[in-house]
Amino acid sequence: MKLRPYQHAAIDAVYQHLRDRDDNPVVVCPTGSGKSVLIAQIANDAVTRWNGRVLVLAHVQELLEQNADKIRRLCSDVKVGIYSAGLKKRDTESSVICAGIQSVYRRACELDAFDLVIVDEAHLITTEGDGMYRQFLSDALVINPHLRVIGMTATPFRLKSGLICSPDHFLNHVCYEIGIRELIRDGYLCPLVSKAGKSKAHTENVSVRGGEFVAGELESLMNRDSLVEAACREIVERTADRQSCLIFASGVEHGKHIARILREKHNAECGFVCGETPASEREELLARFRGDSSGTLFGREPLKYLCNVNVLTTGFDAPNIDCIALLRPTMSPGLLVQMVGRGLRQHPDKQDCQILDFGGNIERHGPIDQIKVKEKPGEGGPAPAKECPECNSVIAAGYAVCPDCGYEFPPPDRNPHESEASSASVLSGEITNTVYEVQDVTYYVHTKRGADEDAPKTMRVEYQVGFNEFVSEWVCFEHTGFARRKAEAWWRKRSPDPVPPTAERAVELAEAGALADTHSITVRSVAGEPYDRVVDYELGELPEPVGVDNYDSFGGVDDIPF
């Protein structure tokens, strides 16, 4: 089989680990990167080169069938069997067996000895307790003490316990990892884009249990009529030029509500699947959503919208997905990555995949390619922070009053009824330019708190761009080098008067009308970076020079330092 360069590197890293170490490796590759190809190649090598026997474990039928089919197609000389009660297949003799963990976790002896176990979605192996994976692997080691385990995952961490690798675990070391951004850059994954919005559902009052939002409270919040209707309205508007939108809901009633609003108020059919959906109905809905011909056997059109609850986060392969709507807030970074990952696969009919985040997930966890998990959740790491709009200090998020300048932060808007997709960028480095019409401009002399008395001051320019929305920038007249040259260029674009040497004089001249009007500004946000920047302006005509005759209002000609 023909492997991509990073797939070659991953397999080489696995074999190097198995040669050099006595413990078990993990390969971390994003959703859509071809983990099933890696599994097929390793299984083929284990059987044909080393005369081994391989078990491939998965937790859902879709992954089970996908892995078995990939091995059969790519490794024609290898006999592949399936052990799954749900699929009514119980092969125990083949060189490679793809098994559902629910079917085999008590049957290690029945399956006999394996030399290698490959676990797909390996983050599901608990690091403690008596989970199904741990029970099976413990029994399999009794049968063959030399058994080696390889983990495959896109998210090498668990919500409660943190990183899945540890010395006393079945998985011990990440031997290879490649990120989403690298694979998008190299053309192997589809680019992700997020669309700007102004508000989202607020989860501050939702209880957290076991590190995740309490399901009942979360669904009650997200299922309010106004919230669902506003979100559905934006979904329809944002997907006018999209072909396949996958929606993640916060509960069964919430998902049914979403489907009903799309149908009744927007004349848009929306399929709905959950754990209780009959298999035949689920199969038809998924086929229609993928655009498979089997979904149109009964004269049904392809399905543009598909809403689900807890069933399509893993093992679901629909490359045509070009929009994902997250109406499920989560505290789990792994779940966020899994949900967004459904849109990473490439398809001839899509240029990118749009992410609409109505639950504040990206703002909560950060861009998905920069998610980092502490060894033990809740211990260490920086506290959440926010920026004071008055003095630009970055302070702890819990402050109601800025300790540096005394600015009082407005209370958070806890109204969950106005829901639009978050503006947070789903990938680090993603650049968003937003043009704002300027309603008013105010100028201040800014002194950094705690600075020496003779330290350089700056002129803070505050643009009002909404009813209670402001954007600031700082112009450094009293600095030297590049900062001073930048200030000189800023001034000359706006005024025929000489560049002032101090921030105080610059403010005085600005307030006297020495600067051109600013009609609009362009603000650039870069995901993963803490501050936005004003990068462009639409300016009015240059004013007449203020002139020496007008300087007396500032204290007299003798006071003018230029």
Separation CA 413–CA 400 (nearest Å): 14
**320 vs 533, higher pLDDT:** 320
Residue 325 lies in a domain: yes
- What are the pLDDT digits (tens) for 297-346? 455 788 999 999 988 877 677 899 999 999 999 988 888 888 998 999 99
Same domain for 170 and 206, yes or no, is no
Let me know whether 446 and 536 are in one domain: yes
More confident residue, 324 or 76: 324
> Do 366 and 222 share a domain, yes or no?
yes
Cβ–Cβ < 8 Å for 376, 163: no
Residue 36 structural domain: 5-178
74 sits in which H/E element: helix 61-74
Q: Are 247 and 159 within one domain?
A: no
| Among 182-196, 350-364, 498-512, the least confident range | 182-196
- Cα distance between residue 180 and residue 194, in whole Å: 15
Q: Are residues 206 and 156 in the same domain?
A: no
Structural domain includes residue 393: no
Return the closest-CA partner of residue 262 out of 273, 276, 247, 275.
Answer: 247
Determine what percent of the chain is predicted with pLDDT higher than 70: 81
263 and 174 in a common domain: no
Examine the pLDDT at 422 and tell me if it is beyond 80.
Answer: no
Same domain, 215 and 174: no
Confidence class for position 52, pLDDT limits 50, 70, 90: very high
**Residue closest to 537 by CA, chosen among 553, 556, 555, 518:** 518
Reported confidence tier of residue 249, pLDDT bands at 50, 70, 90: very high
pLDDT greater than 80 at residue 227: yes
Neighbours of 541 (CB within 10 A): 7
Residues 320 and 458 in one domain: no
Specify if 547 maps to a domain: yes
> Is the residue at 424 inside a domain?
no
Same domain, 110 and 158: yes
E strand segments, 261-405 = 270-273, 305-308, 323-326, 353-357, 385-387, 394-396
Pair 460, 233: CB distance under 8 Å: no
Domain count, the chain: 3
Distance CA 545, CA 165 (A): 68
Residue at 376 is within a domain: no
DSSP 491-507: HHTT-SSPPPSSHHHHH
Q: Tell whether 412 is covered by a domain.
A: no
| pLDDT tens, position by position, 109-146 | 889 999 999 998 888 877 666 788 888 999 999 999 99
Q: Last residue of some domain: 151, 178, 205?
A: 178
DSSP label at 188?
Answer: S
Q: Is 220 in the same domain as 274?
A: yes
Residue 420 lies in a domain: no
Are 325 and 247 contacting, i.e. CB atoms less than 8 angstroms apart? yes
- pTM here is 0.65
442 and 553 belong to one structural domain? yes
Task: Please state, in angstroms and rounded to a whole number, the distance separating the CA atoms of residues 358 and 502.
Answer: 46
The CATH number of whichever domain residue 275 belongs to comes to 3.40.50.300
What are the start-end ranges of the E strands in 319-430? 323-326, 353-357, 385-387, 394-396
* Domain shared by 303 and 239, yes or no: yes
**Measured distance CA(53)–CA(66) in Å, rounded:** 19
Could you tell me if residue 525 is inside a domain?
yes
